[in-house]
Structure 1
Amino acid sequence: MTLAAAHADTGDTAWLLAATALVLLMTPGLALFYGGMVRTKSVLNMLMMSFVSIALVTVVWLACGYSLAFGDDIGGGLIGGLKHAGMAGLGPDSLQGTVPTLLFATFQLTFAIITAALISGAIADRAKFGAWLVFVPVWALLVYVPVTHWVWGPGGWILDKLGALDFAGGLPVEITSGASGLALCLVLGPRLGFKKDAMRPHNLPMVMLGAGLLWFGWFGFNAGSALGANGLAAAAFLNTLAAGSTGLLGWLFVEQKRDGHPTTLGAASGAVAGLVAITPSCGSVSLLGALVVGLAAGVVCSYAVSWKFKLNYDDSLDVVGVHLVGGIIGTLLIGVFAVKEMTGGTEGLLYGGGVAQLGKQLVAVAAVAAYAFAVTYGLGKLIDRVMGFRASEEQEHTGLDLTVHAETAYDHGVLGHGAPVAHSVPSATQKVTSQA
């Protein structure tokens, strides 16, 4: 046994192995969550956009993403080097703290995967699958990797120079996906029939199942970020449960007051909003703070999802209203509710820390949101110019499942309407072209 191996903590390693599996499960959970929210004719395409992100981001992360994000800084706090490209030099005895570096890299990979997949919800029902295959790996390198280095990498400017806090991913996960989703939905434009046709979720039980899997995986996401089986992980675990609960209740309260009906979609969305908001703050706030963070997100995000109708941007599945807005809320409230027992010294405004930390959080939010939006908008425009990012009107009208994948999710038409799929497949599949 080598000296390095002797210093590895088996309890921490076992917990991080489990947490990594939990976070990876979140992407299939997201696929179900998003798949249930779209119309029947494009549910398989929605599932595919999440699942293919697993493969695409994994290849990029192993090739150079991990090294650029977590390698030694070579660019003034902006990016790491390529020393570990291809995972070079990271054998089984290499350690990151008390866990194997290979496990740490895999844990961080699962974060990168779901962040890319989250963006797909903003452009549901209308994006070319081929364009998505190009977008995901390039976006991961240009947006996710640099921001991750800023926030968590050695020498990253947000952590080391600015001093903003983000325990589990409010900045690199929630805000980058939300800002990028906004940029892409502006590039592609609204769906056919936006603000005219009913575009209700086709399968609410699927939405609830997806939300449940996301909540389950979120314990690995947040508590796993402690990188050990310890008290901080336990506190983050409890904060995650608490915030998801108050987020759910806050959203339902708004629905009951505003619409007269608490809905299953609202319950699922509220829980996710609370979980989004507690992600950056779960390792910084007390239990009381977590309850308030989740409640604030549930209430505010329930209103934010309707902004798209007023501002005329078609964020299909509310990536902006939930992930961008929820991520901003959770990241900023660290500056209000942070307690030294969790942070090791930093305190928020309500605990005598003044406004300094709140100001740092605000700068970090503004910088990450602006960078993610600008780069994603430029990348989306470039892909659209070179190969087209939006599906054709015929594909969108017929549905992406049949025209792109030559499959349908259900055998008996669309919610009982129209001819059986068995009769419609031959003529439709003849029109499938390389436009996918």
Structure 2
Amino acid sequence: MIPTELLDRLANTGAEVTRPTGSTVPGGLFPDWVLQPESLAQLTALVRILHASAVDWRVDARGRNWGYDDSRVREPGLIVRLARLDRLDLDVELGLATVQPGVTFAQLNEALQAADARYYLPSPGSGPHTSVLGNALERGLLAGLGERERHCRDFLVLRRDGELTRLGWEEAADDRVRRALPYPPGPHLQGSLFQTGGYGPVVVELTHVLPVATELTTEPVLLAGAELTEDLLRCWRDLLLGELVTSTILASPARRRAQGITVSYDGLVLNLYIAATSATMLRAKVLDVQRLARQHGQRLAARFGGGYDDLSILGGDRNHPEAVGHLPEGLEWQTAALPFIPSVVAAFARAVRTDPLLADIPWTLRPLDSRALVWLAPIVYRKENSDSVALLRRRVAAVARLRDEFAVPAYRSGAVRSDR
């Protein structure tokens, strides 16, 4: 329990003090309170008070890291939520967006559209009302961009003792210079800001490099059969190495069924997203994709089915995320980071398919780049059903055994996981 005197001091900073709401994850604990400052000054005051106390605390952006660690803490304590810090600065000339934690993908893309900018940042599977900053730091993987860490720069950081720093930059440095350059001069610690689960330094602002929006696109698929083959993986890797595809995702039939996507084909599908700035370039890319597919003995077809929406497998609505944590079903993400070695990836997929606990779970494979893939499985369970929770735990243990067998790590395990 948070002492009343301490809670009063925290409330006197002007931050909003509320009780926690629902969560999708089974691990961790509900915080005693959620504190929401509306300014950097309020946040700084909160952090200094908490630093001097014995209370365990973490920060989150909007509390919508569904299936990882939304609205949870690993020890009794509280959450400092940064959703009300929502300043957004666009540099449409350089293609940069400087965001505070409360800025969502929807807000960013609305601002880009209003500015008639040529840039766009696609929303993640967790929905358009997810924090751009929080998603980059803790979730990290976005269609078309791969690992988002390399697209982030110029971090304004509040240390746990309440001191602000630009992390390697002199305060006198010009704003546009800082934001344009990927790193500060000399040694820097930008990597230490990622995957802290909200228990590290508080990132209160970062600049995100924006991809150019392309109107000329096509979305074919490779029909990969019932079993993931090395030939398909070699074809996929060649497509990435040749920069012929902007975004790709390989989905199991169970993943499509979990979203209610009904198609006659019941095998693995590799979705391809091909984009170009001219019709001539698009045709050339499509011809190269067709050539590589034939070369590797793969079947190319027109796109079918919808996109991959994380919340729909819970029966949730990505446009109304406030209700997701209160659904009777919960969500637990299991992941594995794999080298893009066809024999290894095919063997891992085979091990999943032949494990009785894992054979029917929905999963996808997404590339970080042409040298690494992430296996992601959103496992749904019923929160109030002890048998369902027990099955979830057995499945989590089965995935952990596979990671140990293949000597691969989890990908971004979340703040309340026991292995953090």
Of structures 1 and 2, the one with the larger relative CO (CA 8 A, separation 6+) is 1
Q: TM-score, normalised by structure 2?
A: 0.25
Q: TM-score, normalised by structure 1?
A: 0.25
Choose between structure 1 and 2: higher strand proportion.
2
